Amino acid sequence: MNTVELGALGLDRGGHLLVKRALTRVEPGEAVRVVGSAPELAVHLRAWCRSRGHPFAAEDGLIIRRGDVERYNGAESAGAPNAVVDDAPATWGLAARGATIEAGAPAFDFVLHAKDDVWADEAARLYAQGAASQWDPATAIPWGDATEIPDAIEDAVVQVMTYLVENETAALVVSSRFAAQVHPHYFEVMQLLALNAADEARHVEVFRRRALMKRERLGLSSVGGQASLKTLVDEPDFAMASFLLSVLGEGSFLALLWFLHTHAPDPVTKEIARLTAQDEARHVAFGVAHLGRHTTADPALRGRLAAAIHRRHDALAHTAGLNEEVFDALVLLAAGAWTPAAISQGWDAVQSLERDMDLGRRRRLERLGFEAEEAEALSALHTRNFM
């Protein structure tokens, strides 16, 4: 018979660890003798054994027989660590994938509990890429390299930055909301959405800081812009929100950010545009991957996505669309001067930007399985506010 020597160590001070260890080394029904001098050892052992289903006797020393009923009898496994289930049960709650869940754990009502609703095979890779690509707004942007630019150009930068702040705030709200709805079994997706929200928070910070670098106030926030973004914030369905925000909105924003990078009047604006565009590209990649998988599993989803575009277009039909001040600011940034020739060049650059946005949307729609003609028609219905 195996013997556990506890000395003066009682179960109330960790002695149970040695007893548990000894029991794992014998088969059910085999006995372990416990020896120790702690005053309440027998009392504590009896109670401990009863709670765990191990027979206990104190007639001939303190003898424990390993019971057939273990502490975690009735427990369930939260899947295998590297296997993603099709539908994660509410009873798995916050347990890590692959953990053993003690019977009686509370159920959690995570709205997004089905793999087809959230999953993308690229999620883990995109999260790792994003985590490794985080940048510090205080040091990554060359704030000290600010150059003197004409007042009108500076005002144009401020207006564009104001516009970017409210759009990134909407993206932050949407990402945060759905991150909290994903079942933790799909932790890669939950982490990626949380990382996306952190990206948006950082973008809001640098856009605000650039806007206020030489001015005391930000620019105009328009009714049309707010109305457009409200349709995103109010969208309750993850697939629809991901489609409208990531595939269409942030995809269009990628072209806008690279436009700003090309026409930036100073090094600070140029670097802000570059770094934020890199983050947004990752957001778009997840949206396309997730919905590509989803539409493959459920081809009927394409019809619902198309309907979401039509609903949003109809809801915004009587709004002004893109803030006129933002459009004019983009023209002026691309022009760089007030001469008629420069303004004409700036105008053409913004028209080219809108064509690039349209082409990008059509390509992403086709990747989701839409036919070219339908993709063209749907892209044309996208909000004039870009996002």
Given this model, what pLDDT does residue 147 score? 85
Task: Point out the least confidently predicted range of 65-79, 195-209, 236-250, 278-292.
Answer: 65-79
**Spatial separation of the C-alpha atoms in residues 251 and 246, rounded to whole Å:** 6
Given this model, what pLDDT does residue 146 score? 77
Please, what is the average pLDDT of the chain?
94
pLDDT band at 71 (very low <50, low <70, confident <90, very high): low
Residue 2 has, within 13 A of its CA and on its CB side, a CA count of 19
Given this model, what pLDDT does residue 386 score? 92
Report the C-alpha dihedral over residues 88, 92, 97, 103, rounded to 10 degrees.
-140
For residue 174, the tally of other CB atoms under 10 A from its CB is 26
Question: Nearest CA to 227 among 353, 157, 358, 323?
Answer: 323
Query: Which residues are within 8 A (CB) of 332 and not within 5 positions of it... i.e. 6 or more apart?
Result: 152, 153, 156, 343, 346
Angle (CA) 27-31-32 rounded to 5° is 110
For residue 209, give the amino acid letter.
R
**Token pair of 268, please?**
């600070």
Is residue 186 within 8 A of residue 84, CB to CB? The reply is: yes
Is residue 246 within 8 A of residue 284, CB to CB? The reply is: yes
pLDDT band at 68 (very low <50, low <70, confident <90, very high): confident
Sign of the torsion formed by the C-alpha atoms of 203, 205, 206 and 207: positive
Give 214's DSSP letter: S
Angle (CA) 234-239-242 rounded to 5° is 70
* Average pLDDT for 89-116: 91
pLDDT, tens only, 355-384: 999 999 999 999 999 999 999 999 999 998
Residue 179 has, within 13 A of its CA and on its CB side, a CA count of 16
Sign of the torsion formed by the C-alpha atoms of 235, 238, 239 and 242: positive
Question: Nearest CA to 247 among 311, 308, 173?
Answer: 308
Report the C-alpha dihedral over residues 184, 276, 268, 340, rounded to 10 degrees.
-150
Write down the residue that tokens 């929100």 correspond to: 241
* Average pLDDT for 337-344: 95
Report the C-alpha dihedral over residues 265, 266, 267, 273, rounded to 10 degrees.
-50
Given this model, what pLDDT does residue 53 score? 83
The pairing of strands 62-65 and 56-57 is antiparallel
Is residue 327 within 8 A of residue 155, CB to CB? The reply is: no
pLDDT, tens only, 109-144: 999 999 999 999 999 999 999 999 999 999 999 999
Angle 340-367/267-297 helices, nearest 10 degrees? 30
Is residue 37 within 8 A of residue 7, CB to CB? The reply is: yes
Given this model, what pLDDT does residue 73 score? 56
Given this model, what pLDDT does residue 100 score? 86
Decide if pLDDT at 346 tops 70.
yes
Given this model, what pLDDT does residue 67 score? 85
User: Which run of H or of E encompasses 35?
Assistant: strand 31-36
Highest mean pLDDT among 98-107, 321-330, 355-364: 355-364
Percent of the chain at pLDDT exceeding 90: 86
Decide if pLDDT at 74 tops 70.
no
pLDDT, tens only, 150-170: 999 999 999 999 999 999 999
Task: Point out the least confidently predicted range of 63-67, 128-132, 194-198.
Answer: 63-67
**Spatial separation of the C-alpha atoms in residues 75 and 319, rounded to whole Å:** 56
**Spatial separation of the C-alpha atoms in residues 65 and 319, rounded to whole Å:** 77
Decide if pLDDT at 72 tops 60.
no
Give 295's DSSP letter: H
Question: Nearest CA to 262 among 384, 342, 353?
Answer: 353
Is residue 142 within 8 A of residue 271, CB to CB? The reply is: yes
For the purposes of burial, counting CB atoms within 10 Å of the CB of 136, is it exposed (0-12), middle (13-18) or buried (19 or more)?
exposed
**Spatial separation of the C-alpha atoms in residues 360 and 363, rounded to whole Å:** 5
* Average pLDDT for 95-120: 91
* Average pLDDT for 273-288: 98
**Spatial separation of the C-alpha atoms in residues 285 and 126, rounded to whole Å:** 8
For residue 317, the tally of other CB atoms under 10 A from its CB is 9
User: For residue 85, which phi and psi values (nearest 5 degrees)?
Assistant: -80, 165
Given this model, what pLDDT does residue 70 score? 55
pLDDT, tens only, 206-258: 999 999 999 999 999 999 999 999 999 999 999 999 999 999 999 999 999 99
Q: Catalogue all structural domains in the chain, each as residue range(s) with its CATH number.
A: 2-65 (3.30.110.40), 80-109 (no CATH), 115-380 (1.10.620.20)
Identify any residues that bridge with 4 across adjacent strands, giving them in sequence order. 34
pLDDT band at 69 (very low <50, low <70, confident <90, very high): low
Decide if pLDDT at 96 tops 90.
yes
**Spatial separation of the C-alpha atoms in residues 32 and 290, rounded to whole Å:** 54
